[in-house]
Structure 1
Amino acid sequence: MNEADVVTAAQKDLKQRRERKKETEEFEEYAEKAKTLPENTANENKLILYGLYKQATVGPVNTSRPGMFNWKDRAKWDAWKAVEGKSKEDAMSDYITKVKQLQEEAAAAS
Protein backbone atom coordinates (compact mmCIF):
# COMPACT_ATOMS: atom_id res chain seq x y z
CA MET A 1 0.00 0.00 0.00
CA ASN A 2 1.51 3.30 -1.04
CA GLU A 3 1.17 6.66 0.68
CA ALA A 4 -1.72 7.78 -1.56
CA ASP A 5 -3.67 4.62 -0.69
CA VAL A 6 -3.11 5.25 3.02
CA VAL A 7 -4.35 8.83 2.70
CA THR A 8 -7.40 7.73 0.70
CA ALA A 9 -8.23 5.05 3.27
CA ALA A 10 -7.87 7.55 6.11
CA GLN A 11 -10.13 10.04 4.33
CA LYS A 12 -12.74 7.35 3.72
CA ASP A 13 -12.61 6.29 7.37
CA LEU A 14 -13.01 9.89 8.53
CA LYS A 15 -15.99 10.39 6.22
CA GLN A 16 -17.65 7.22 7.55
CA ARG A 17 -17.11 8.33 11.15
CA ARG A 18 -18.66 11.73 10.39
CA GLU A 19 -21.67 10.07 8.75
CA ARG A 20 -22.15 7.76 11.76
CA LYS A 21 -21.91 10.75 14.12
CA LYS A 22 -24.54 12.60 12.07
CA GLU A 23 -26.82 9.53 12.12
CA THR A 24 -26.37 9.19 15.88
CA GLU A 25 -27.16 12.87 16.45
CA GLU A 26 -30.31 12.60 14.32
CA PHE A 27 -31.34 9.47 16.21
CA GLU A 28 -30.87 11.26 19.55
CA GLU A 29 -32.91 14.20 18.24
CA TYR A 30 -35.78 11.90 17.31
CA ALA A 31 -35.52 10.05 20.62
CA GLU A 32 -36.28 13.41 22.26
CA LYS A 33 -39.11 14.07 19.81
CA ALA A 34 -40.60 10.66 20.62
CA LYS A 35 -41.08 11.86 24.19
CA THR A 36 -43.50 14.51 22.89
CA LEU A 37 -45.77 12.10 21.01
CA PRO A 38 -49.39 12.23 22.16
CA GLU A 39 -50.36 10.14 25.17
CA ASN A 40 -52.91 8.32 23.03
CA THR A 41 -50.19 6.86 20.79
CA ALA A 42 -51.06 3.18 20.39
CA ASN A 43 -49.18 0.80 22.67
CA GLU A 44 -48.20 -1.24 19.60
CA ASN A 45 -46.36 1.80 18.21
CA LYS A 46 -44.76 2.56 21.57
CA LEU A 47 -43.49 -1.02 21.71
CA ILE A 48 -42.09 -0.80 18.18
CA LEU A 49 -40.19 2.35 19.18
CA TYR A 50 -38.98 0.70 22.37
CA GLY A 51 -37.63 -2.32 20.51
CA LEU A 52 -35.88 -0.21 17.89
CA TYR A 53 -34.42 2.10 20.55
CA LYS A 54 -33.01 -0.79 22.56
CA GLN A 55 -31.57 -2.44 19.44
CA ALA A 56 -29.96 0.84 18.39
CA THR A 57 -28.51 1.65 21.80
CA VAL A 58 -27.79 -1.76 23.37
CA GLY A 59 -27.78 -4.23 20.50
CA PRO A 60 -29.21 -7.75 20.67
CA VAL A 61 -31.32 -8.75 23.67
CA ASN A 62 -29.02 -9.47 26.60
CA THR A 63 -31.53 -10.42 29.29
CA SER A 64 -33.87 -13.30 30.00
CA ARG A 65 -37.50 -13.00 28.98
CA PRO A 66 -39.60 -11.76 31.92
CA GLY A 67 -42.18 -14.10 33.39
CA MET A 68 -45.76 -14.20 32.18
CA PHE A 69 -47.04 -12.29 35.21
CA ASN A 70 -44.80 -9.36 34.35
CA TRP A 71 -46.73 -8.63 31.15
CA LYS A 72 -45.51 -5.05 30.62
CA ASP A 73 -41.81 -5.93 30.73
CA ARG A 74 -42.50 -9.09 28.75
CA ALA A 75 -44.15 -7.07 25.95
CA LYS A 76 -41.17 -4.69 25.89
CA TRP A 77 -38.73 -7.62 25.79
CA ASP A 78 -40.71 -9.21 22.94
CA ALA A 79 -40.63 -5.93 20.98
CA TRP A 80 -36.86 -5.76 21.38
CA LYS A 81 -36.44 -9.43 20.46
CA ALA A 82 -38.53 -8.85 17.29
CA VAL A 83 -35.85 -6.52 15.88
CA GLU A 84 -32.82 -8.39 17.19
CA GLY A 85 -31.41 -9.07 13.72
CA LYS A 86 -31.24 -5.40 12.72
CA SER A 87 -27.94 -3.57 12.69
CA LYS A 88 -27.55 -0.57 14.96
CA GLU A 89 -27.70 1.72 11.93
CA ASP A 90 -30.86 0.09 10.54
CA ALA A 91 -32.54 0.26 13.95
CA MET A 92 -31.71 3.97 14.23
CA SER A 93 -33.01 4.64 10.73
CA ASP A 94 -36.23 2.68 11.33
CA TYR A 95 -36.73 4.47 14.65
CA ILE A 96 -36.43 7.88 13.00
CA THR A 97 -38.84 6.85 10.24
CA LYS A 98 -41.38 5.57 12.78
CA VAL A 99 -41.23 8.73 14.90
CA LYS A 100 -41.72 10.86 11.77
CA GLN A 101 -44.71 8.72 10.78
CA LEU A 102 -46.28 9.03 14.23
CA GLN A 103 -45.70 12.80 14.27
CA GLU A 104 -47.42 13.13 10.90
CA GLU A 105 -50.35 11.01 12.07
CA ALA A 106 -50.69 13.11 15.23
CA ALA A 107 -50.58 16.35 13.23
CA ALA A 108 -53.25 15.07 10.83
CA ALA A 109 -55.49 14.05 13.73
CA SER A 110 -55.37 17.46 15.40
Structure 2
Amino acid sequence: MINTGSVNGLRGNKSLIDYSATKGAVHTLTFSLAQALLDRGIRVNCVAPGPVWTPLTPATFPPERVETFGEQVPMDRAAQPDEIAPSYVFFAADQLSSYYTGEVLAPLGGETTPG
Protein backbone atom coordinates (compact mmCIF):
# COMPACT_ATOMS: atom_id res chain seq x y z
CA MET A 1 0.00 0.00 0.00
CA ILE A 2 1.35 3.41 -0.93
CA ASN A 3 -0.25 6.51 0.55
CA THR A 4 0.23 10.08 -0.60
CA GLY A 5 1.12 12.62 2.05
CA SER A 6 2.70 16.05 1.75
CA VAL A 7 5.53 18.14 3.08
CA ASN A 8 2.74 20.18 4.69
CA GLY A 9 1.83 17.14 6.76
CA LEU A 10 5.41 17.04 8.01
CA ARG A 11 5.84 20.70 8.93
CA GLY A 12 2.38 22.29 8.84
CA ASN A 13 1.31 25.32 6.84
CA LYS A 14 -0.44 28.35 8.31
CA SER A 15 -2.35 28.93 5.07
CA LEU A 16 -3.41 25.29 4.62
CA ILE A 17 -4.33 24.20 8.13
CA ASP A 18 -6.97 21.62 7.21
CA TYR A 19 -4.87 20.21 4.35
CA SER A 20 -1.78 19.97 6.57
CA ALA A 21 -3.74 18.25 9.33
CA THR A 22 -5.20 15.65 7.00
CA LYS A 23 -1.83 14.93 5.38
CA GLY A 24 -0.31 14.56 8.86
CA ALA A 25 -3.08 12.06 9.57
CA VAL A 26 -2.14 10.15 6.39
CA HIS A 27 1.44 9.89 7.66
CA THR A 28 0.29 8.54 11.03
CA LEU A 29 -2.16 6.19 9.31
CA THR A 30 0.81 4.89 7.30
CA PHE A 31 2.79 4.18 10.49
CA SER A 32 -0.16 2.50 12.18
CA LEU A 33 -1.22 0.37 9.21
CA ALA A 34 2.40 -0.71 8.66
CA GLN A 35 2.46 -2.10 12.20
CA ALA A 36 -1.00 -3.66 11.95
CA LEU A 37 -0.54 -5.32 8.56
CA LEU A 38 3.04 -6.54 8.79
CA ASP A 39 1.97 -10.01 9.98
CA ARG A 40 -0.12 -10.33 6.80
CA GLY A 41 2.87 -9.49 4.63
CA ILE A 42 1.42 -6.14 3.61
CA ARG A 43 3.86 -3.26 3.44
CA VAL A 44 2.50 0.27 3.92
CA ASN A 45 4.52 3.33 2.92
CA CYS A 46 3.92 6.95 1.98
CA VAL A 47 5.28 9.51 -0.46
CA ALA A 48 5.17 13.08 0.90
CA PRO A 49 6.38 15.45 -1.82
CA GLY A 50 7.11 19.12 -1.63
CA PRO A 51 5.80 21.44 -4.34
CA VAL A 52 4.78 19.59 -7.51
CA TRP A 53 3.53 21.32 -10.64
CA THR A 54 0.05 20.03 -11.50
CA PRO A 55 -3.03 21.54 -13.22
CA LEU A 56 -4.32 22.28 -9.71
CA THR A 57 -1.59 24.88 -9.20
CA PRO A 58 -2.81 27.56 -11.63
CA ALA A 59 -6.43 26.64 -10.88
CA THR A 60 -6.13 27.34 -7.15
CA PHE A 61 -3.41 29.99 -6.74
CA PRO A 62 -3.44 33.63 -7.82
CA PRO A 63 -1.21 34.38 -10.85
CA GLU A 64 1.54 36.04 -8.78
CA ARG A 65 1.82 32.93 -6.60
CA VAL A 66 1.86 30.61 -9.64
CA GLU A 67 4.87 32.52 -11.01
CA THR A 68 6.92 31.76 -7.90
CA PHE A 69 5.47 28.34 -7.03
CA GLY A 70 8.21 26.06 -5.74
CA GLU A 71 10.95 28.69 -5.57
CA GLN A 72 11.24 28.25 -1.80
CA VAL A 73 13.03 24.89 -2.10
CA PRO A 74 16.80 24.69 -2.64
CA MET A 75 16.32 23.54 -6.26
CA ASP A 76 14.42 26.81 -6.79
CA ARG A 77 11.49 25.18 -8.60
CA ALA A 78 8.56 22.83 -8.19
CA ALA A 79 8.94 19.20 -9.26
CA GLN A 80 7.31 17.78 -12.33
CA PRO A 81 5.05 14.75 -11.67
CA ASP A 82 7.45 12.44 -13.50
CA GLU A 83 10.17 13.39 -11.01
CA ILE A 84 8.03 12.14 -8.12
CA ALA A 85 6.76 8.99 -9.86
CA PRO A 86 9.95 6.97 -9.16
CA SER A 87 9.21 7.22 -5.44
CA TYR A 88 5.99 5.27 -6.01
CA VAL A 89 7.74 2.77 -8.28
CA PHE A 90 10.38 2.21 -5.60
CA PHE A 91 7.77 1.36 -2.96
CA ALA A 92 5.71 -0.74 -5.40
CA ALA A 93 8.65 -2.93 -6.49
CA ASP A 94 9.37 -5.72 -4.02
CA GLN A 95 12.86 -6.22 -5.43
CA LEU A 96 13.67 -2.57 -4.55
CA SER A 97 11.90 -2.01 -1.25
CA SER A 98 10.98 -5.34 0.33
CA TYR A 99 12.57 -4.23 3.63
CA TYR A 100 10.61 -0.97 3.78
CA THR A 101 7.36 -0.51 5.65
CA GLY A 102 6.07 2.40 7.70
CA GLU A 103 8.26 4.85 5.80
CA VAL A 104 7.50 8.35 4.57
CA LEU A 105 9.65 9.26 1.58
CA ALA A 106 9.79 13.01 1.06
CA PRO A 107 11.09 14.27 -2.31
CA LEU A 108 11.57 17.91 -1.36
CA GLY A 109 13.81 19.44 -4.00
CA GLY A 110 16.90 19.56 -1.81
CA GLU A 111 15.24 20.51 1.46
CA THR A 112 16.77 18.25 4.09
CA THR A 113 14.59 19.09 7.07
CA PRO A 114 11.01 20.07 6.36
CA GLY A 115 10.14 23.30 8.10
TM-score, scaled to structure 1: 0.29
